[in-house]
């Protein structure tokens, strides 16, 4: 059967497939033809499709046109790394940071079709959409994969230690390369690395969870590469996390098993009685923090570096998520507040910003600082100023942030409009002034329009500013792959709002839907991403659009622009 996978630009991939084929296969083949990353496919009726199902199960007809939602840019680094890498929506890669420690722009610029990137301290590995792997950086830290390239096919996931990589293939086998001192050689356990479900890494060792719940380890014995003493306990393992030199495994019943260097959290005997119903474990450099089902937290390891949470124990209730720098922890509670402990100079003391730490959804960390992303898209930082703890120089740019990531000593934030903001040590990626994440040229199909004033009884004004980008179309008159809208509300917003957009001929639908704007006196800004409906194989430029704004359970105010394009 023939399926047409369509972008808003008008580009189409005609994919021949069998009814019993998985939709994921169609998506992969369309990515290759269109040279873009596809986040998902939608039906002719505009409904998201489950790519784990077959074409017949999805009742797709021969000749059907499927819409493709283009994947947005993603960031990659680690607390070991001195550089960042970003995968653009089209699968190309850009790097920045210390060029002598992995930020080789020339090597990265040649990559096409990347799905994700992983990092050691001084090398990167890009997992391509076709399952192959490309590496670059310093040879002694994992950049040379030439000896295993023939085995690096159908790779599903990558994992990195300080100086080596592990690749998990679709057949459950693991391929390793890099510095043997950091786990780059798994020859001693290769016969056991079968039916692997997941791999994790400390700085110098790896641990693999098998389908049967058992664990295989390799690398530096003192850093967790030797798990012989706890093998009898490592049954029904669900997840594994690692500090710099130790591992902690969560079993099916919520119990925990640890091994590795005791100075880095490898010994949890003193808190063993408290380690039950554990749902999540997070590791700092030399300590662990476990979140239990009741929202409480248990810690162990080097006390000054986060292993002792006693001073804040009374506040560690209803914890939703835990994050770690190298020497401190930050816990987000269900009410959006944050509790910190550990080394006070490396993020353990957040007293100076506690008033700003509300409605927190995510936290990123460098080795010595934290950055918290709030639900309003703002970012709050604290910790060592030399490692990203001071973001005052870029605070005005830190709005509508969607992605936040830390390297060894710098942060990178990706905004909803595709702009990149960085701060911290320039030699660790804190300076991205020469980086272009979304190269594009202006699309002139629509001129910028401004609409003010709503229908009767509206208590505020609305200004709409169009910004169009187009990285795929060959003609300036072609439709863009995506239209980004900035909506500025001014005046008193007296109720929560629900916003959605429709365009003429039913050609477009709002992907960033269901946005709630909470009441505030000084107005607010909303960034909206609009993509084509799947039924539009080759959209024509709409001559008008409607924007509907109104309270959740009341009448809707409408603004309509019917001006035709010139």
16 and 25 Cβ atoms separated by less than 8 Å: no
Q: Classify the C-alpha dihedral 240-241-242-248 as positive or negative.
A: negative
Per-residue model confidence (pLDDT) at position 10: 64
- The pLDDT of residue 482 is 39
Strand arrangement of the beta sheet that strand 237-242 belongs to: 237-242, 246-251, 256-260
Sign of the C-alpha dihedral, residues 184, 185, 189, 194? positive
Q: Are 450 and 467 spatial neighbours (Cβ–Cβ below 8 Å)?
A: no
Gap between the Cα atoms of 288 and 512, Å rounded: 36
- pLDDT at position 139, please? 93
Please name the residue that has the structure tokens 């009898």: 232
According to the model, what pLDDT value does residue 454 have?
Answer: 33
Contact between residue 119 and residue 112 where contact means Cβ atoms under 8 Å apart: no
Instruction: Give me the pLDDT at residue 545, please.
Output: 33
Kindly provide the b/e burial profile for residues 457-482, where b requires at least 16 CB atoms within 10 angstroms of the residue's own CB. eeebebbbebebbbbbbeeeebbbbb
SS3 at position 215? strand
**Distance between CA atoms of residues 215 and 461, nearest Å:** 60
pLDDT score recorded for residue 481: 39
Asked if residue 180 lies in contact with residue 206, where contact means CB atoms within 8 angstroms, the answer is no
The pLDDT of residue 173 is 97
**DSSP category for residue 58:** T
Q: Flag residues of the chain having pLDDT under 70.
A: 8-10, 438-566
- For residue 438, what pLDDT is reported? 60
**442 C-beta neighbours (distance < 10 Å), count:** 11
The DSSP H or E segment spanning 453 is none
Q: What are phi and psi of 107, to 5 degrees?
A: -65, -40
Question: Bridge partners of 43?
Answer: none
pLDDT of residue 35: 73
What are 124's strand-pairing partners?
A: 119, 136
Quote the CA–CA distance of 497 and 421 in Å, as a whole number: 29
pLDDT in tens, 386-406: 999 999 999 999 988 989 999
- The whole-number pLDDT of residue 37 equals 75
- 3-state secondary structure labels for all residues of 118-160: EECCCEEEEEECCCCEEEEECHHHCCCCHHHHHHCCCEEEEEE
- Rounded to whole angstroms, the Cα distance separating 350 from 355 reads 10
Dihedral class, residue 335 (left if φ above 0, else alpha if ψ from -120 to 50, else beta): alpha
């Amino acid at each position: 059967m023939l399926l047409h996978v369509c972008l808003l630009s008008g580009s189409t991939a005609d994919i021949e497939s069998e009814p019993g084929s998985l939709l994921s296969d169609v998506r992969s083949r369309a990515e290759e033809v269109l040279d873009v990353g596809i986040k998902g496919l939608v039906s002719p009726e505009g409904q998201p499709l489950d790519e784990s199902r077959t074409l017949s199960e999805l009742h797709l007809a021969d000749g059907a046109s499927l819409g493709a939602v283009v994947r947005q840019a993603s960031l990659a680094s680690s607390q070991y790394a001195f550089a960042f890498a970003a995968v653009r929506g089209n699968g190309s890669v850009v790097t920045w940071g210390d060029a002598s420690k992995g930020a080789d722009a020339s090597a990265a610029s040649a990559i096409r079709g990347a799905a994700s990137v992983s990092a050691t301290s001084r090398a990167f590995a890009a997992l391509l959409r076709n399952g192959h792997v490309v590496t670059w950086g310093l040879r002694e830290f994992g950049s040379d994969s030439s000896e295993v390239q023939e085995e690096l096919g159908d790779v599903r996931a990558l994992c990195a230690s300080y100086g080596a990589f592990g690749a998990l293939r679709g057949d459950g086998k693991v391929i390793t390369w890099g510095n043997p001192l950091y786990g780059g050689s798994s020859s001693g356990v290769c016969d056991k690395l079968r039916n692997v479900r997941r791999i994790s890494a400390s700085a110098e060792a790896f641990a693999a969870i098998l389908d049967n719940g058992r664990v295989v380890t390799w690398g530096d014995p003192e850093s967790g590469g030797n798990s012989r003493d706890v093998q009898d306990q490592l049954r029904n393992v669900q997840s594994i996390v690692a500090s710099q030199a130790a591992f902690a495994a969560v079993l099916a019943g919520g119990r925990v098993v640890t091994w590795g260097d005791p100075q880095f959290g490898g010994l949890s005997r003193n808190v063993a009685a408290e380690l039950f119903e554990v749902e999540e474990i997070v590791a700092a450099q030399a300590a662990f923090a476990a979140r239990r089902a009741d929202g409480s937290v248990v810690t162990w390891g080097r006390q000054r570096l986060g292993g002792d949470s006693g001073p804040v124990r009374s506040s560690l209730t209803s914890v939703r998520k835990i994050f770690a720098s190298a020497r401190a922890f930050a816990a987000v509670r269900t009410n959006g507040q944050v509790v910190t402990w550990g080394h006070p100079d490396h993020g353990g003391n957040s007293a100076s910003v506690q008033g700003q730490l509300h409605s927190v959804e995510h936290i990123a960390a460098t080795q010595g600082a934290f950055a918290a992303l709030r639900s309003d898209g703002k970012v709050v930082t604290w910790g060592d100023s030399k490692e990203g703890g001071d973001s005052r120089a870029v605070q005005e740019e830190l709005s509508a942030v969607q992605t936040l990531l830390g390297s060894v000593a710098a942060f990178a934030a990706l905004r909803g409009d595709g702009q990149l903001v960085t701060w911290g040590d320039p030699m660790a990626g804190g300076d991205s002034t020469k980086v272009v994440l979304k190269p594009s040229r202006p699309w002139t199909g629509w001129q910028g329009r401004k609409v003010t004033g709503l229908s009767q009884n509206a208590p505020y004004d609305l200004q709409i500013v169009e910004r169009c980008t187009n990285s795929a179309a060959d003609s300036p008159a072609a439709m863009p792959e995506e239209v980004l809208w900035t909506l500025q509300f001014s005046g008193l917003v007296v109720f929560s709002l629900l916003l959605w957009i429709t365009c003429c001929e039913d050609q477009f639908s709002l992907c960033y839907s269901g946005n709630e704007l909470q009441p505030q006196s000084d107005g607010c800004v909303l960034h909206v991403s609009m993509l084509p409906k799947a039924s539009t194989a080759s959209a024509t430029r709409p001559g008008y659009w409607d924007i509907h704004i109104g309270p959740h359970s009341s009448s809707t105010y409408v603004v309509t622009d019917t001006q035709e394009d010139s």
